[in-house]
Structure 1
Amino acid sequence: MRLSRILLSTLVASHVLAASANVELLQTPAPQSAHATRNVITNLSPHAGGYLLTGERGLLLQWQPDGQWQQLQTPVSVGLTAIATLADGSAVAVGHDAAILRREASGEWHKAFDGYDLTRLQIAALERRQAELQEAVDNPAQDADMEELEFQLEETGFNLEDTQAELESGPNKPLLSIVAAAGERLFACGAYGTLLRSDDGGKHWELQSASLDNPDRFHLNALSRSDDGSLYVVGESGLGFVSRDNGDSWQAMDLPYDGSLFGIIAQPGSANLVAFGLQGHVLISRDGGENWQHQKIDAGASLLGGTIDAQGRVVLVGHGGIVASFPVAQPDAVTVRKHPSGAAFSAVAVQGEQLILAGQFGVTAWKMN
């Protein structure tokens, strides 16, 4: 749920063009700024009575609702998009160029993974797939569709050549979301169908993209976890998947909207889910993703971030300063307000009678009524 989801296809295209010029940003610590809270903020995560904020140019902030804040030192200057905190107090952040940062509960942030690591994982996966297809072509089964096998082999070869070229041109795939599953397992997702898994709290990562039925490599924009342990991922073209076994397997969800979804959130202690995205489209499930209701918020602005509190109050934010709220049990009872800044907001949290809004112009507190 972040600002870098806005027109993701445009973001990815421009990022690819700039990749070779920005390679050094993976080795350059984030600049310190006296005005960091006014920079672009992409996401927020509850932490120690306040929030950890991610943002542009490697920005990580520890922010309190009373306005006190501290910029944390990070080893990269690429944009950071999301953060997850584990039960032991350690935290993992993800961002552009497939950067993954990690810190122990009381330690410093360090880079655990980046786009070069991702490219090498993708090359290895494509080489395995190429060998499997070549074996199937050389020794076809009796009912084999040779034309299809040869097409897949050729396509895999082209993809392998393109991916190998990325080792020279530089990383170009942003990671957009991260979620902590049970135990020390984490999942991160992003552009071109990228799905990564860690089983040791973010120290090491493996490619899991093939576990999703996503042959067109649609972008994966958001991950979420419900209190019962179910994991969810949504993306462009109405793409959505659920895992009921801590990410060991994933099943496609039948969503009643085929446009881009930028977020999915779960109500604490409930089976209620809300997914949201392009031009105000909202999907609501009351049974853990089995069935969905589709509606459109009249303002029509794209929705980029959201939260549901324990009482079932949904708050969604997005372009043009839009702040939409409704009870999850009464999705037609929508109240739409606009923040006077007109900013594009990427994330929101409820703190007492205030909303904590993060986005285009930084972070601010705003009274709910």
Structure 2
Amino acid sequence: MKTRRFHLPTNFARSALLNCGVAWLFCLALVNPQQLFAASTSGTATANAAGDLFKEAPDQPYPSTQPVIGLAAAGSDLIGVGLRGLIIKSEDDGTTWQQISSPVDTDLVDVYFSDSKNGWAVGHDSVLLQTEDGGSSWSVNLDGKKLKTLLENHYSSAPSLDDFERENMLAEIDFATSTSANPEVIPTPFLNVHIDENGEGYVLGAFGMLLYTDDNGQSWVPWIERTDNERRMHLYGIASADDGSMYISGEQGLLMRLDRELKRFVEVNIPYPGTLFGVSVHGDVILAYGLRGNLFVSKDHAGSWSHIENGQKGGLIDAIRLDENYSLIVSQRGEMTRLNHETLEVDPVDAAFNGAVNSMVLVSSKNTLVAALFNGTTTLDSKQFQ
């Protein structure tokens, strides 16, 4: 596989002063569909010029009816996150929910747990929250102010880059800051996070943002230049395989795989130029999915891809592994199809949702699917899909 060492193209460097700031503003309109509403309502950190960046999330009289953007299982419990810092928890497979105190009032768009105790939530204003008690309490790990300092310190002396490359990275940081109402804050939205049980992982987001940790978030190293993503496409999805492989998906057909020897995400060729909102690895099957129902499957470690006609028209936002043989493909419109891993045939699933679907999770009991909607959550019996 051909790989590229990071080098900012000359024509890009010459035009950056004219284009980069505009691109940052324009690209805010290109956020993942289930996160688009959140993008339009966020901005707390950039609005406060002094003092603390955030207030605590407001109390909601009826938290179970609030817009939920992301869902994750924390052992036998469920955690949901949403607008204005909303965090909710269910201990009965999504039947009832309670609001959890949140240290931020900016929009949260995704949540991930490496085990029943350790979890992460990401959102706008470069927010990364951390929990070590199964989601009962949360603290701020990163925010836009910490991110700016982290990036500036790293790229002022990054040993893997030459002087020209370091200067260009610092110029990108300056342009990012110029779009913020607060010169001390980079407002880049974080869109996804994946940290494994050993404390190694990544947080990723808009404009090619990528950070790496190997100590469960105690420290972070920017990996922006360690990707085949010179155009700084938004990064949406991340998934790992049992063999240690790691994949990231993004805008304009961007799909990358981690090369552990190079310590770099290298581009994977996929026959699709549109945005890929997610990537999932189910055994030997890799699924990449995105706009207008486009679904691609590889069974040879991303060497070749099959385009799966599944009849869906909405953007695909989730691929839930039902068992060893089947996955449930979910669109933002609430459409669902069941994919056979062996034959790659699909069957439509008859299930109606009252509103767009933002996320979905299969609870540990294996009998209940919980969907995140604009008006809260809803549950389905997963047996009807198996």
Flag whether TM exceeds 0.5 (same fold).
yes
User: Aligned AA for 1:58?
Assistant: G
Provide the residue aligned with 2:15 in structure 1.
Answer: none
Return the offset for 1:359: 2.5
Whole-Å Cα distance in 1 between the matches of residues 253 and 207 of structure 2? 15
Q: Distance in 1 between matches of 2:77 and 2:43?
A: 37
1:255, distance to aligned residue in structure 2 (A):
1.2
Contact 2:340 2:346 in 1 (8 A): yes
Which residue in 1 is equivalent to 2:272? 257
Query: SS at 2:117's partner residue?
Result: coil
Judge which range, 354-363 or 216-225, deviates more. Answer: 354-363
Q: Distance in 1 between matches of 2:297 and 2:74?
A: 28
- 2:144 — aligned with what? 115
Q: Give, in angstroms, the shift of residue 302 of structure 1.
A: 0.9
What is the TM-score when the length of structure 2 is the normalising length? 0.79
Which of 127, 133, 157 in structure 2 is aligned with 1:99? 127
Structure 2 vs 1, CA of residues 296 and 35 (structure 1 numbering), >3 Å: closer, same or farther?
A: farther
Note if contact 2:35-2:109 (Cα within 8 Å) is conserved in structure 1: no
Residue pairs, 1:245-284, within 5 angstroms:
245=260, 248-267=263-282, 270-284=283-297
Summarize deviations over 1:326-348 as a string: whole Å, max 9, x none.
2222333231445241x221212
Residue 231 (str. 1) matches residue 246 (str. 2): yes
Match of 2:88 in 1: 61
Asked whether the equivalents of residues 294 and 307 of structure 2 are also in contact (C-alpha less than 8 Å), the reply is yes
- In structure 2, the partner of 1:146 is none
Distance between the aligned counterparts of 2:240 and 2:169, measured in 1? Answer: 33
Q: What corresponds to 1:147 in structure 2? A: none
* Residue pair 1:225, 1:231 contacting (<8 A) in 2 also: yes
User: Could you tell me whether the CA contact under 8 Å between 1:230 and 1:246 is conserved in 2?
Assistant: no
Corresponding position: 1:77 with 2:105 = yes
Identity between Structure 1 and Structure 2 (%) = 23
Gaps of 5+ in 1: 137-151
In structure 1, the partner of 2:11 is none
> SS in structure 2 opposite 1:168?
coil
Q: 1:49 aligns with which of 35, 60, 76?
A: 76
- Which of the numbers 345, 348, 363 marks the counterpart of 2:357? 345
In structure 2, runs of 5+ residues without a counterpart are: 1-30
1:25 & 1:346 partners in 2: Cα distance? 30
Maintained 8 Å contact 1:312/1:327: yes
Give the one of 297, 301, 321 matched to 1:308: 321
| 3-state SS, counterpart of residue 330 of structure 1 | coil
Rounded to whole Å, the distance in 1 between the matches of 2:298 and 2:343 is 12
Q: 1:9 to 1:55 in 2, by over 3 A?
A: closer
Deviations 1:9-45 (A, max 9, x none): 8976x57988633678942111122322222212211
Q: Specify the alignment match of 1:287 in structure 2.
A: 300
- The answer (yes or no) to whether the contact 1:198–1:206 under 8 Å persists in 2 is yes
Give the direction of change, closer, same or farther, for the CA distance of 1:292–1:105 in structure 2 (3 Å limit).
same
Answer with 287-296 or 188-197: which moved more: 287-296
Answering whether residue 220 of structure 2 is matched by residue 202 of structure 1, we say no
CA distance in 2 between counterparts of 1:16 and 1:360 reads: 16
Any idea what SS the aligned residue of 1:320 has? Answer: coil
Aligned to 1:149: none
For residues 360 and 242 of structure 1, do their structure 2 counterparts lie closer, same or farther at Cα, with a shift above 3 Å needed? same
1:220 positional shift: 0.1
Shift of 1:173: 1.1
Question: Across the two proteins, how many residue pairs are aligned to each other?
Answer: 347
Q: Is the alpha carbon distance of 1:298 and 1:362 closer, same or farther for their aligned partners in structure 2, counting shifts above 3 Å?
A: same
Computed over aligned residues only, the root mean square deviation of the Cα atoms, in angstroms, reads: 3.2
Preserved contact between residue 208 and residue 229 of structure 2 (Cα < 8 Å): yes
Q: CA deviation at 1:213?
A: 1.2
- Please say if residues 303 and 319 of structure 1, whose CA atoms lie closer than 8 Å, have aligned partners that are also in contact: yes
**Residue in structure 2 matched with residue 144 of structure 1 by the alignment:** none
The aligned residue for residue 148 of structure 1 is none
Comparing 155-164 with 31-40, greater Cα deviation is found at 155-164
Counterpart AA for 2:47 = A
Paired residues of 2:42 and 2:125 also in contact (CA < 8 A): no
Change (3 A) 1:5 1:359: farther
Find the counterpart in structure 1 of residue 380 from structure 2. 366
The 1:65–1:86 alpha-carbon spacing in structure 2 relative to 1, beyond 3 Å, is closer
Residues 306 and 333 (structure 1 numbering): CA distance in 2 closer, same or farther, change over 3 Å?
closer
Deviation at 1:128, TM superposition (A): 4.5
Bigger mean CA deviation after superposition, 279-288 or 352-361: 352-361
Query: Relative to 1, partners in 2 of residues 1:212 and 1:8: Cα closer, same or farther, differing over 3 Å?
Result: farther
TM-score w.r.t. structure 1 length? 0.82
Shift of 1:295: 2.7
Cα distance per residue 1:73-104 (max 9 Å; x no partner): 11001111222323482222211111111122
Q: Is the 8 A contact 2:115 2:197 kept in 1?
A: no
**Residue 143 of structure 1 corresponds to which residue in structure 2?**
none
1:335 alignment partner, SS class: strand
